[in-house]
Every structure is written in structure tokens, then in C-alpha cells.
Amino acid sequence: MSTETEIPRVSIDSLAQWREIRQNMMKAALQRLDERIRAGGLEAEREPMEAYIRKSVNEAMEIAQLNTRVNGTNWEDLKHTEADDDMEPFDESLDDAERALGTHRLDKERTIVDSRLYRPPQTLSQVQAALQQALEAEDELARKEEEELALEVSRQGDGMDAEEEVVDVESRMRPAYALARELEQSLPIQLERAKNFEAVKKEVMGLKR
């Protein structure tokens, strides 16, 4: 009678389940590697690092086979042909395509999140700059019109009528100037509110995690 203590084996229902476990481990390892490569800027080292990860996972799974029981049968007792027929090779091209699709989707989601976080303040800043330019252009135009009007008045020698005309022009332009100034003053406030909103939003999202 053997005095050696038998190590409990991991039981699975079928070789198909084993294949699924193996593929999931490979995907998880490659995904983790991809995150490290992207974070560390190691794109040039991707190919040899992926090859090493694939080899390591395959070797680990081969070792695990010796401690596995499939549908009540020890792995080493399975018929060789049965294991070969049912165990499909790891589809590297399919895995690469799925991982590329996942990476593309992640990049797209990051782009959407970034646009939601940063575009509203950027848009407000652009509107504020455009409004400032428009106000400066209007001021310059009004100044030129006043100079031309004053020149025309001096030529006609009718100071009283010209002065009344200048007052009339100013009274007509005053509401437009007031509205433009009001918009110019309110935009920084709206910009600050947008920034505060995004800061609170980030804090709330952090609490949810």
C-alpha cells in the first residue's frame, strides 16, 4: 500500500471546458500585458513579450493537466486520440482580432468620455474669445463711423444737427453694446460652473468605484 498522499485533482466536465479555461487564461494574460505595454510605451517590445506570455501560459496549462480530472478520468488516463480530437488548438488570429476589437472599443469609449469632460469648457472658452473679438471689431467700427460723421459735420458746418445725429446713433447702438457686455461678463461665470460640475462629477464617479 502506497504511503504517498494523493493530491486532490481539479475536476472538470469535459475537454471543451478545459479548452475554454485555457483560452480565458491566455486572453487575461495578453490583456494585462497590453495594458502594461500601453502604459509604459513599450510598443516596440510587444512581439517578443507576447511570445513569452503565450509560452508561459501554455507551459503552466501543461503542468496543470497532471492535476486535472476530466469527467471522472485522470488526464494521463485519457486516450491520446480523444484528447487530440477534442482539444482544438488556440486560435491566435481569432484572439488577436477579438483583442484588437476590444482595444478599439476602449479607445472609442475614452474619446467619448474625454469629449464629455473637456469639450464644454473648451467650447465656452472659444465662444468667449469670439465674442471678445466681435466686441473689439464693433468698437473699432463705431469709432470709425463717429470719426467719419464728425468729419462730415465739420465740412457742412452744422454742428448742432451733427451733435444730435451722433446722440441718436449712440442711443440706437447702446442696447446692442449692453447686451454684448452682459454676455461677455456671464460667460466666465458659466465656464466656472461647467468646471465645478465636472469636478463634482469626477468625485461622484470615484465614490461609485
Amino acid at 174: R
Residue 84 has pLDDT above 50, yes or no: no
Contact predicate 103/34, CB 8 Å? yes
pTM assigned to the model? 0.37
The domains of the chain are located at 10-90, 118-208
What does the CA dihedral 46, 52, 57, 61 come to, rounded to 10 degrees?
Answer: 160
Please calculate the CA angle 77-78-79 and round it to the nearest 5 degrees.
115
Q: Is 63 exposed, middle or buried (0-12, 13-18, 19+ CB in 10 A)?
A: exposed
75-79, 148-152, 171-175, range with the lowest pLDDT: 171-175
Place of cell 461677455: 184
Q: How confident is the model over 140-157, as pLDDT tens digits? A: 766 776 777 667 666 665
CB atoms within 10 A of CB 89: 6
**Better-scored residue on pLDDT, 2 or 42:** 42
